Amino acid sequence: MQTADAAEWQAKAKGLLKAELKRRNVTYAGLVEKLAAIGVQETEPNIRNKIARGGFTAVFLLQVMAAIGAKKIRLH
């Protein structure tokens, strides 16, 4: 079995996060508010850049999932 390179993993992370936001109809502006409600200060441009490059930390992923109320993550 061939492993994916870093760019492929980043694309998967980006797609996963964008899909979860879309599923819940959460915009980046809305995400800023939801993150602030759990004590995480981010700006909309910073969020946009993190998600666009797909190179965010696991901590950021977990913070977003908690903020949007995701209980499960679909890994396809």
Q: What three-state secondary structure class fits 76?
A: coil
The per-residue pLDDT for 1 is 46
* Number of residues that this document lists for the chain: 76
How high is the mean pLDDT of the chain? 92
Q: What is the DSSP letter of 1?
A: -
Q: What string of DSSP letters covers 10-75?
A: HHHHHHHHHHHHHHTT--HHHHHHHHHHTT----HHHHHHHHHHT---HHHHHHHHHHHT------
Instruction: Name the residue ranges covered by the structural domains of the chain.
Output: 6-68
Query: pTM for this one?
Result: 0.86
> Using 50, 70 and 90 to split pLDDT, how confident is the model at 2?
low
Q: Residues 17-47: pLDDT tens digits?
A: 999 999 999 999 999 999 999 999 999 999 9
Tokens (6 digits) for 53: 């490059």
